[in-house]
Each structure stands twice: as C-alpha cells, then as structure tokens.
Amino acid sequence: MMEEDDDSRTNLIVNYLPQSMSQDELRSLFSSVGEVESAKLIRDKVAGHSLGYGFVNFVNHSDAERAISTLNGLRLQSKTIKVSFARPSSDTIKDANLYISGLPRTLSQQDLEDMFSSFGRIINSRVLVDQQRSAEPGSSDSLN
C-alpha cells in the first residue's frame, strides 16, 4: 500500500484559474475540502502576473480525491477550473534516459529491448547509427 504523503496521490494541478486569483485565495478554496500542505500559483517570471494555473498538495490522498470530485468544473468568475492529479515533477523522471555507445552494428531494436527489459519497463528505445561513420559499429542508443 502506498503512503498517504506520496505526492502522486496528493498533488493536484489546477488549470483555468481566473487571472485575478491570488495564491492565498487558491489555498483558501482548497482548504475548504481538506488539509492543504502547500498551494502555489504559477506566475510569469518576468511580468509577475498569474499564468492561470497552480498546484495544491494535500496532506491526505482522500482529501485530494474529494477536491477533484468537489471542485473540478467549478465556475470562478468567467472561468471553469479543471482539477486533476499532477504528473510527477520532471526532477523525478529526468534521469530515466539511458545512452549506450559501442553497440555491435548487427544489434537490432528487438535485441536491445530484450537485453534491457529485465531492468524495468522500456517506454521507448532507438538504435542510432552514425551515417558518417558507418564503418564503425553502432554508435549510440537511447532508452527511456
């Protein structure tokens, strides 16, 4: 069983927020549903204005579920907000790519996947061949 504080089960993305909404108002709205650990309104880094979306992280998964069922589709000013679970941050998955060089030229895509599938699920793989140096063995590979 997953822990209650697992971000993938408690972190929500909120889209289509009114431009005038403040971060405190975002927190207040979601606090009406359950205990909010954090609320962040995303702003333009230069101009400082709201980009119309934010993230709300609940303490408990059940509160996050309730927020989705209660607040998704809510009309705020002239906007209808969309509330859903956020994807893991790119920091969580940024190191998922694997690059391999010096592969035998005869290695097929299927051979590559067979070789690495025991280490986890392969989302995408490619055998890249350097056309300029075609006399050398396969030059690189990308797994993620």
CA distance 50 to 72: 19
Q: Look at domain 9-87 and name its CATH class.
A: alpha beta
pLDDT greater at residue 49 or residue 130: 49
Total H helices, total E strands in the chain: 5, 9
Report whether 77 contacts 70 (CB < 8 A): no
Q: Class of 95-143 per CATH? A: alpha beta
pTM of the complete model: 0.59
Q: Where in the chain is the domain with CATH 3.30.70.330?
A: 9-87, 95-143
Give residue-wise pLDDT tens across range 48-88: 899 999 999 999 999 999 999 999 999 999 999 999 999 87
